[in-house]
Amino acid sequence: MVNTQNDKLEAKLFDSDIIDFGQYLQTIKRYFWRIAGLAIFLTLLVSLIVLSLTPIYSAKVTLLIESEQANVLSIEEVYGIDSSRKEYFETQYEILRSRQIAQRVVERMQLHEHPMFNRDVFEANKGAFDSFMDELKLTLKSALPFLPQTPTISPSEDDILLANKAFATTLLLQNTRVVPVKNTQVVEVFIETPDAKLSADIANTVADIYIESYLEAKLEMTEKATAWLNNSLQGLRTKLSEAEGKLADFYEQEQLVDIDGVVGLASEELQQLSDQLLDAEVALQRSQSIYDQVNRQGASINELSSVPEVLNHPSIQSVKREEVIAQSKVSELREVYGPKHPVMIAANAELSSIQGSLSQQIANLVSGITNEYRTTQTKVRALRREVEEAKAEFRKLSSLESTRRTLQRDVDINQQLYDSFFTRLKETDQLGGFESANARVLDSAVPPIAPAKPNKLLIIAAAMFLSTGLGVFLALSLEALSRGIRSTDDVERKLSQRMLGLIPWQAHKKHENLSLRHFFDPNHHIFSESVRTLRTSLQLLNIDKPSQTILVTSSVPKEGKSTVSVNLAFALGQLSKVLLLDTDLRKPSLGRLFELPGFQPGLANVISGSHSLEECIVCDQQSKVDILSAGTLPPNPQELLASQKFAELMQTLRDKYDYIVVDSAPTQAVSDAIVVSKQCDSLIYVVKADSTSDKIINNGLSRFVEIGHRIDGVVLNQVDLKKAQRTGEYSGYYDQYGYNSYQADDKTS
């Protein structure tokens, strides 16, 4: 049993995460007439406002903005504008929206005098609220003299005129739209006013003034460029003359004709002298080496002859060859002749002569090497002196060349600037007479036939759609904020319980309980049938094991649990022997409903043993239902209900009665109902329709689930059937059983 209740609670939590569109539709259906009424009211209100609005006519003029000008000369260079870039077109759009263009349109068309753009007329037509605020300010200023007063200065006619023009300009800007056509050079200018012809005239004037302003700006820039070029040319001409004069003075002072050629010759001469000096220094180094070898102190002829430079000399080599031949000859003759032989003497004499010649040749060679060395030294010194002189001359000529180039560069630069400015001046003069606009009108504005706004049908349709949406939103919001239980779906969805019965609300006086015998009144058959339906549902629910003791409770007081207990007892009493037992020992109500005397003993007296059961039971003659009231209120009601004597009493009552209807205290107030439920077979939970929060109800239900007691179902009490029929929740619920309507009850109430 407990697991079944827990499963229901888990299913409830799972279902809460699922969007129930059917529930939303049911809510919308319930609030349908309210939603429709709100939508109709707001739509009518918007319709009245829209119909009172002044129609606005929108005239359109179409312009083509040229991306490249048809120029004879390069006007972009004069203006500094690159017309091929995207920023160029954005700039033109902003110019069309500019205050300058609007101000010129106002002045040309005298719009500040037109009633639609006149500030005085606008002030006269201000709304009642603005007029009230102005009057309130004046009243406060006069009533509170201690406040700082702003001195009032009477404006002059010129100030008034300027203010009117500024007002008309601002109003025109507010009613001007510039819309570029995507991926084209076409732009559309829209003017909106209450006058169709005026809108077209203003649009055409805006296009004309835009084109004229461009031509005027171009002419003004051309004139400024011409004046600036003339002034610049005067300065450039003076600078050029000064530079040319300095260059001529330089040539005259240095006596130069062709300095480029002189510098070239000096460079070649310096190069030649440098080459000669290099060769001479190499020869000097070679001569010095030979000189050092042959002039070593104490060197003999033989030692000198072994020096490579001496040995390799051609004259020495020739004498050496002759000496070798003479020595060979002497050696050959020595083998044939003796030393005294004339041939031998002649050969030796020849050898001696050759050797003497060799010594003389070596001495001469050494003397020549010394002379050559000294001559080379002299030559190197002379060349070095000449190179230094050539370098000095070259540096002087280079300095003169650098000075000449500097002066010539100044002349060339000033000449180029002068020529460039002179050419631009001529171009600008020619440009001044060529007027080419950057835009042209493709389609002139014509007076529109129909107003552009307001689109009354669209606004009314939108108002109806939005107001309907607002109504649906409010209905769903109210439904979401409402935590009460008002239908069978709410019982199953919010409480996860079955619906045992539905008790309709009955008209009665405020602050008074429903009539005790209301069940037996034939004029209130719907109420009686609802109680009988509850009886039948309870019996069918427990058909296998009939419930003899039926506990009736609720979450909080004033939900009608006592009324349900009494009428359920009446319904059961028509078929069986029934006892109506009041276990609310804190605030009992059955004794008061049945108008029992205050001294009437009851349940508390039986449990305490002060009275017997027969003394406490009272029989209601009309319904044949026995009543056991609470009796004397004890100080410890919960202990009495939890006692063994109460359990024994309940067993005794089961033996005497077919059904025992137990009216208990609310679950959220005290725990008496939890204690009493242990002695009962069935439990009926009464919920007042659209009143008690589902959270509170679930808290009460969970207390019974925790102790393992089964809840037979929920009785939805005090249901407003009129409202239910309007919302369609219980439409035809009772008519299926032959009852036309609940209106008969209303007529007799």
* DSSP secondary structure string for all residues of 702-733: HHHHHTT----EEEEEEE-HHHHHHHTSSTTT
What distance in Å separates the CA atoms of residue 574 and residue 572, rounded to the nearest whole number? 5
User: Is residue 52 in some structural domain?
Assistant: no
pLDDT band at 567, cuts 50/70/90?
Answer: very high
What distance in Å separates the CA atoms of residue 668 and residue 408, rounded to the nearest whole number? 113
**Three-state secondary structure readout of 240-259:** HHHHHHHHHHHHHHHCCCCH
What distance in Å separates the CA atoms of residue 732 and residue 117, rounded to the nearest whole number? 65
pLDDT band at 104, cuts 50/70/90?
Answer: confident
Residue range 219-241: average pLDDT?
A: 73
Per-residue model confidence as pLDDT tens digits over 360-376? 666 666 666 677 777 87
pLDDT band at 61, cuts 50/70/90?
Answer: confident
User: Is residue 20 in some structural domain?
Assistant: no
pLDDT at 438: 73
Is 580 within 8 Å of 630 (Cβ atoms)?
A: no
Per-residue model confidence as pLDDT tens digits over 325-363? 877 877 777 777 777 778 777 777 777 777 677 666 666
Q: Tell me, yes or no, whether 401 and 446 share the same domain.
A: no
Q: What domain range includes position 381?
A: 259-432
Q: Tell me, yes or no, whether 382 and 531 share the same domain.
A: no
Q: Tell me, yes or no, whether 412 and 448 share the same domain.
A: no
What distance in Å separates the CA atoms of residue 46 and residue 53, rounded to the nearest whole number? 11
Q: Tell me, yes or no, whether 660 and 589 share the same domain.
A: yes
HSE-CB of 431 using CA atoms within 13 angstroms: 27
Is 600 within 8 Å of 592 (Cβ atoms)?
A: no
Q: Tell me, yes or no, whether 200 and 268 share the same domain.
A: no
Q: Tell me, yes or no, whether 185 and 290 share the same domain.
A: no
Q: Tell me, yes or no, whether 410 and 447 share the same domain.
A: no
Q: Tell me, yes or no, whether 532 and 620 share the same domain.
A: yes
**What's at 346, amino acid-wise?**
A
Q: Tell me, yes or no, whether 274 and 184 share the same domain.
A: no
H-only helix segments in 586-693: 590-593, 603-608, 613-616, 637-641, 644-656, 672-677
Backbone angles phi, psi at 647, to 5 degrees: -65, -40
What distance in Å separates the CA atoms of residue 556 and residue 688, rounded to the nearest whole number? 9
Contacts of 554 (CB under 8 A, 6+ apart): 560, 561, 666, 667, 685, 686, 687, 688, 692, 700
User: Is residue 463 in some structural domain?
Assistant: no
Is 499 within 8 Å of 576 (Cβ atoms)?
A: no
Domain containing 558 — which CATH number? 3.40.50.300
Q: Is the pLDDT of residue 743 over 50?
A: no
- Closest by alpha carbon to 178, among 75, 70, 300, 62? 62
Q: Is the pLDDT of residue 180 over 60?
A: yes
Cis peptide before 454 (omega within 30 of 0): yes
CA 267 to chain centre: 75
Q: Tell me, yes or no, whether 358 and 384 share the same domain.
A: yes
pLDDT band at 20, cuts 50/70/90?
Answer: low
Backbone angles phi, psi at 733, to 5 degrees: -60, -40
pLDDT at 139: 60
Q: Is the pLDDT of residue 128 over 50?
A: no
Is 270 within 8 Å of 387 (Cβ atoms)?
A: yes
Per-residue model confidence as pLDDT tens digits over 572-623? 998 899 999 999 988 898 888 888 888 889 999 999 888 899 999 999 988 8
Q: Is the pLDDT of residue 433 over 60?
A: no
pLDDT at 740: 42
User: Is residue 473 in some structural domain?
Assistant: no
Q: Is the pLDDT of residue 111 over 90?
A: no
Q: Tell me, yes or no, whether 490 and 417 share the same domain.
A: no
Per-residue model confidence as pLDDT tens digits over 628-668? 999 888 888 899 999 999 999 999 999 999 999 999 999 88
User: Is residue 33 in some structural domain?
Assistant: no
pLDDT at 80: 46
Per-residue model confidence as pLDDT tens digits over 696-741? 888 888 888 888 888 889 999 888 777 665 555 554 444 433 344 4
What distance in Å separates the CA atoms of residue 305 and residue 358, rounded to the nearest whole number? 9
Provide the sign of the torsion angle of the four alpha carbons 90, 91, 95, 98, taken in this order.
Answer: positive
Per-residue model confidence as pLDDT tens digits over 493-524? 888 888 888 888 887 777 677 888 888 888 88
Domain containing 206 — which CATH number? 3.30.1890
Is 575 within 8 Å of 697 (Cβ atoms)?
A: no
Q: Is the pLDDT of residue 265 over 90?
A: no
10 Å CB burial of residue 336 (0-12, 13-18, 19+) is exposed
What distance in Å separates the CA atoms of residue 56 and residue 445, rounded to the nearest whole number? 16
Q: Tell me, yes or no, whether 416 and 487 share the same domain.
A: no
Count of domains observed in the chain: 3
pLDDT at 366: 66
Three-class SS state of 527:
helix
